Structure formats: structure tokens, C-alpha cells
Amino acid sequence: MKRLGVLLSGRGSNFAAIADNIVQGRLTGCQIAVVISNKADAAGLVAARERELKALAIEARGRKRAEHDAEIIAALKEHQVDLVILAGYMRLLSPEFVQAFPERILNIHPSLLPAFPGLDAQEQAFNYGVQVAGCTVHFVDEELDHGVIVLQKAFPVHEGDDSQALAERILEQEHIAYSEAIGRVLSGEYRVVGRRYVRNAK
């Protein structure tokens, strides 16, 4: 059984989708070992405890990034985490954090990267007038929304969409894509060539 460590800052809807997918057998061979939030009042921690998962608040406020990250790294190692899952974790990771879990940290972003990195990607995309939207699961490296891409899902922007409707459809797709990407990475059946993620032939 591979062990996932989830980091979140808010309600963690992607965390909930992953937990549901594990319980319902759509994502197999792994369990959630620990859920950590940098905010003690994150709704995602409540949701984790309701699921009887280990849930920790490691408050970031008023602390240096390196010190805070070191405490999170220690907690992840203590729980013997194989893969770190960012699920709405609203803090940049320090280089030391990234180096502690090389190609072992995943993030999901609500656009077809490299288009629309950063905050409010759905609204950026809508206002740009894209006709195709999407989401991207990628390894985290030391640049924002930049690491090797594991999986992207694309779908059309609908005629009647507003920014909110598009954002909701992107989130639905994220809930599917993230578990699929976790399964791919945990399988180990891939290699990274340059910055291309290439699945091994079956």
C-alpha cells in the first residue's frame, strides 16, 4: 500500500474526491496517511477527521518558510509518505521541500499549462476567450505551476458559459484527473525524458 500525504489550505475538494475514489475502489493500491493544513480552521481538516483520517494543523502564520516547511517535511516523513498531494495548498514550497520529495509532489492546476499559471486561472482563461479549457496535473518543481506534466484534460468552453460555470466544469474534471494521475505515478510505469512524462509501453 502506497501512502499519500495531502496538503491543503481550504475545503480541499480535490482531497475529498481522492478520498472518495479510494473508498469506492476507483483509485487502488494507496491510502491517505496524513492530511496537513497550514491553516488550523481549514474545512478540509474537518472533512479529513470525519473520514477518520489523520489530520494535522501546522500553522504557517508568523513563522519563517524554511522552519514551517521543515516541520511539514518531518510530519510527512514520520507518516512514511510515498507521494505528496497538493490539494489547494496556498503556499509556495521552498526548494528544500521540493528537494526532500524529488518527483514525489503532485499539484493540480485549473488550466492547460503553460497557459494561465498563477491565481484565478479559470477566470484568466475565460476572459482570454479560449475555446478549449482544461486542467493539468504536474510534478512540483521550484517554479510556479511549472513541473513535468503527468496528465491534462481538455474540454470545450460552452457557448452559454460564464466564468463561474466554466470554473465548476473545470473542478469536476479535476476530481477525475487527479486520481487518474496519482494512479499513473504510483504505478511507476513511466519515465521522464527531458521534461516529458512518457508512459512505458505495455
Q: Which of 148, 171, 176, 186 binds a second copy (CB under 8 A)?
A: 148
The correct pick among 1, 52, 62, 196 for binding a second copy (CB under 8 A) is: 196
Nearest-approach distance from CB 181 to a second copy, in angstroms? 10
Give me the 50-69 binding string for a second copy, x by CB under 8 A, dash otherwise: --------------------
Closest approach of a second copy to the CB of residue 121, in Å: 12
As measured in angstroms, the least distance from the Cβ of 55 to a second copy is: 32
Determine if 198 is a binding residue for a second copy (CB under 8 A). Answer: yes
Half-sphere exposure of 176 (CA within 13 A, CB side): 9
C-alpha cell at 74: 518531518
- What residues are labeled active site? 109
